[in-house]
Amino acid sequence: MSQHSCAAMTLIAIVGQTDARQSACLLHAALEGTAGLSPCIIGPDSPALSCAEALSAHLHRLSLQNATHTVIVLDRAALARRVCTGLHISVTAPVGQVMNWDGLDDLLARTDMAVFDLDETGREDYVSIIPRHSFTYSENKGRADLTARNLRLFPGHTEFEAVATGQICRIHLPMCGGFAVYHALCALSCGLCMGLELGQMARLLRVAHGPSGCMEVLSIPAAYTVLLDRASDLHSLERVLTTARSFTARRLVCLLADGSRPMEELADQLADRVLAFGSARSDRRQAIVRGLDRAGPGDVLVLTGTDGGAEERAFIRACAHNCALRRRRQT
């Protein structure tokens, strides 16, 4: 990586976290809303991460565009070791999971500050294995530098109190699910390490948005909730349905996109009703129409599979509007 690129901007690597893009988006929102800062995100599928030379060239182009911070999203420490040098902050998954990662020691050696999640460590000696140049966050461990307390979940947002040394602030996230707390703690930890104030970041995160199609609550004119998620495997499907169940007042309906037999069985276990559909666009639209037509107040509809983009969101809103008009006429 060229010295010019390193000197021109602060580099943050988010490595190996589940849904690291969520953390990156929240951190980007906190940086973008701060005067004088111009952040950007790379990865995890960017060609710039193919090798160190490609990343160096990409960072050089960003520096010429006056970027001040770059968040690099990576899926494993070994990749970070190959392509990244001169990192200001490196964020990893729960500390107990990453101590055996290939390339972790080398990554930390070229990182100014490491940020770790202390929860789900799987080890009793987690305190002793944390590197000295580290900042930690947790939902339930008081030894962490940043903790979350008094968590409250709602269909369209999540709230908690972020507590750091000498600072406490109520955080309102326009995202649903308890897992969003960890993404916010990750982003807040990075911000604190860079000198941002907790209260300032809280104001910015209140209007932040995660990646489209990742536990995305769609704004519609109805008394039920439509949740979009690209869940395409058993783990992601279990996560989204379990999270949705935590704030479902009435029925949880899963619109399952072309899932395998095990995915259909899992959806049957976790949801009150499953509407499976094929891979064709017409199949997906028919499932959306059926789901919205049968939805009632307090229901949560989870639409899985490939993100249909702005056109699909407009289609869902139009269908919800038409359903509402039809029901009003019938009453």
3-205 maps to CATH 3.40.1190.10: yes
- Side chain identity at 190, as an amino acid letter? C
pLDDT beneath 70: ranges in the chain: 1-8, 17-18, 93-100, 120-129
pLDDT confidence of residue 100: 66
Amino acid found at 97: Q
Cα separation, 308 vs 291, in Å, equals 16
pTM, whole model, 2 decimals?
0.80
Strand 39-42: give its sheet, edge to edge: 39-42, 69-74, 10-15, 87-94, 111-117, 134-138, 146-153, 158-164, 167-173
CATH 3.90.190.20 in the chain, residue ranges: 216-330
pLDDT digit string, tens, across residues 305-330: 887 788 999 999 999 998 888 888 88
Which pLDDT does position 252 carry in this prediction? Answer: 96
Q: Where in the chain is the domain with CATH 3.40.1190.10?
A: 3-205
Q: What is the pLDDT of residue 82?
A: 77
Structural domain 216-330, CATH architecture? Alpha-Beta Complex (3.90)
